[in-house]
Chains A and B, each alone.
Chain A
Amino acid sequence: MKYYRNLSVSRGRAIARAGARAATLALSAIALLAPWQSASAQLGSFNPDPGPRGTYAIRGARIVPVVGAEIASGTIVIRDGKIEAVGANVTAPAGAKMIDGTGLTVYPGMMDAGTSIGLSEISQGAASTVDISEVGSFNPNAQAFYAINPHSAHIGVTRVVGITHVLSRPTGGIIAGQAAVMNLAGSTAPEMSVVQNAAMVIQLPRSGFGGRGGGFAATTGGGNTQEVNRTRQRQVDSLKTLMRDAMAYGKVMDAYAKDKSLPRPASDVVLASLVSTVRGELPVIMMADRENDIREAVMFAEEMKIKPIIMGGRDAWMMAPFLKQHDVPVLLSAIMDLPSREDDPYDVNFSTPAKLAAAGVKFAITSGDAGAEARNLPYTAGMASAFGLSKEDALKSVTLWPAQILGLGDRFGSIEAGKMANLVVTDGDVLEAKTGTKFLFIDGRPVPLDSKHSVLFEQFKDR
């Protein structure tokens, strides 16, 4: 047998099955892998189910609650999916399954608010594994929730670094559809779902190339600037018309609900799906990277009285006072992008989070990745810290802040009594690439630390 240090990939599975005896069962759990090995040639089904909800206590661990002071050694009690208590002097209730946290650190589970996880398994050469976009320009009624594959192998490899929940969004067109907030555990979409309809995703048509998501008008303008602009304006007008129709539709439906003697209006699933958006109730994720695209997205949102969240945000640093003034948050996904102009400072995108933080702009750091690379989220936040963001803010930018931006700050993002028990227990700083995960809880359920990758590792490490 070859020598591998830190052979800990199977510990989580042990805890799922054996609770308090978890740490001692690490090696015997390897034997449990055998039935899966045949699955390694299939798509999906690599994510072992979490253990049951119940009462668990993590004892003797360093606790980084994100809200409030760090606890050098304390206890966290988890009951029925929620954090029941946290503190230095909390006593574990009798009957709780105990996890020894000595030498380990507990963090709130991280959130990647910039994925399309479960919607695209293999982006090239396997089109039938990609359900990320619909045809046509306006698809407000397309919901990511209905296409997310709970057995995507991306889920297992993402959660083992401590990313416990994500926003998964459709892409493409002008209205791409509705994004969902999902826990990264469960066998079905309803089991994973936290918010089925978390945000509408809109990309205003842009002229010219650059930034993410392509430029719609640019492809039809044939290089003629005036024609490009006319095409773009037509598309924006169509969007506005649709949104105004949805507003009217909502009014008519409300009126009819109050007074059934009115003529019954015809139902329209497309308009119905837009009503909460145009009323400013459902946040709108607006894809925008370039300075002018960000400005136009914000101005469009103000005109239409919708609630914008900028996603992408490559040039957001140039727009910091503007974003602050208009109170628009940003889901940053451009930190690892190369500078867009040759003469930009080499670290222009690495340092965007620090600049936004200094300007008081609300932001979160996201991977911006469809799924496979989402696991690099913590290192992206760490990189932002290497270029000026404080370590505390770096952690908040992948825990509390994304939750707050999506209106879920009371449910996620910190270790506080009453919040969902999404927790990661590590052997070091959770943002460091070398750090290992020792235990994982999602929705109060212990999650095995196996994934497609650890399964293949076990299968071949000694061959």
Chain B
Amino acid sequence: MIFSFNTSRSSGHWAGFSLIWYQELFQDSRMQTAIAYTLVIAVISTVISTIIGTFSAIGIHKLSTKMKAYVLNVNYLPVISPEIVTAIALMMLFRSLRINFGFGTMLLAHIMFSIPYVIIALLPRLRVMNPNMAEAAMDLGATPMQAIFKVVIPEIFPGIIAGALMAFTMSLDDFVISYFNTGNGVTNLSIEIYSMARRGIRPTVNALATIMVTIVFIVVIIGNNLSIKRKIKN
């Protein structure tokens, strides 16, 4: 774990301190587009899959037992199957439909593998929710839509956040599925690093790794402090 900090040192010899690789990284336009694509796709796919996932989960929760079992089993497929199988399955679908590979296919693929996680995060919440609350709201004159927005969604909100976070991190980190379902020069961070690593060691990757480790470290420390404070408060 601490080894990842080793990456800040360019391999082996230490020829003195310099920021030249950082400079190069920030001037590397390919890297910048890749980072931009990664973020854009992660944000869009998270928003879409959270919305679709939430409504689908509410619907699935109400399905008959048999239908529910079928939907959930299919829903689990992308979760349990190896990424590479999901990736080539999608690729074959897109190819068969003659869809041009690029931003669209990559986004669709990310939405596809994110929704199951949102649903899995939400269903337990829906199960423990008191069903009488929505009923009561509707008895008091709320439309089903109002009942969902005013009662159900606030009730399961922590699950929605958990699902969205999961979708977001999965999308940020994804390599295999993006790798098979992209084209037209659209890449994300993982694909860019992969091609760099195959071309040979590039010190810019070390610089990038250092930056990412630092960001993660700061986020983790802040998050940890917050959660400890919350624990103390409670």
A and B interact = no
Query: Measuring CB to CB, which residues of chain A are less than 8 angstroms from any residue of chain B?
Result: none
Query: Measuring CB to CB, which residues of chain B are less than 8 angstroms from any residue of chain A?
Result: none
